[in-house]
Structure 1
Amino acid sequence: MQLRKERNLTQNQAANCVGIKRSTYACIEKGLRNPSLQTAAKIADFFDIPIEKLVQ
C-alpha cells in the first residue's frame, strides 16, 4: 500500500496497470490473499522493486 500511495495511485489504477481486478488487488494489499507468482512478478515490475520485497 505504501508504494501505491507514494505514487498517488488508487487501488483501481494500480490493479488496472497490473491487469487484475481491484477487489483482488485490495485483498492482496490487505494480506487477505496471496498473489500468484505471475501476479507478484507483475506487481514488482510495475513498482520497479525486487519481487522479494513483496513477500516481506
Structure 2
Amino acid sequence: MEPGEDGDRFDCTATELISGMLTDPRHPYTIPADYTTHWFVPEGSPYRQAPPGF
C-alpha cells in the first residue's frame, strides 16, 4: 500500500467479513489454502521445542 492510501473498506463488521471469507466461494477476499487446518502444537508434543539455533 502506498503512503496516503486508506486500503480497502468494508460496510460490515470484521466478524461478518471473516465469515464471508470462510463461507462464500465467490467472496473477493479468501483465506489461503494453507490455513485450512489448525496451527497450534499440543502441549507435550515433541514439535513444541524450538529448533536448534532458534
Q: Give TM-score, length-normalised by structure 2.
A: 0.24
Q: Give TM-score, length-normalised by structure 1.
A: 0.24
The structure number with the bigger radius of gyration is: 2
The structure carrying a bigger helix percent of its residues is 1
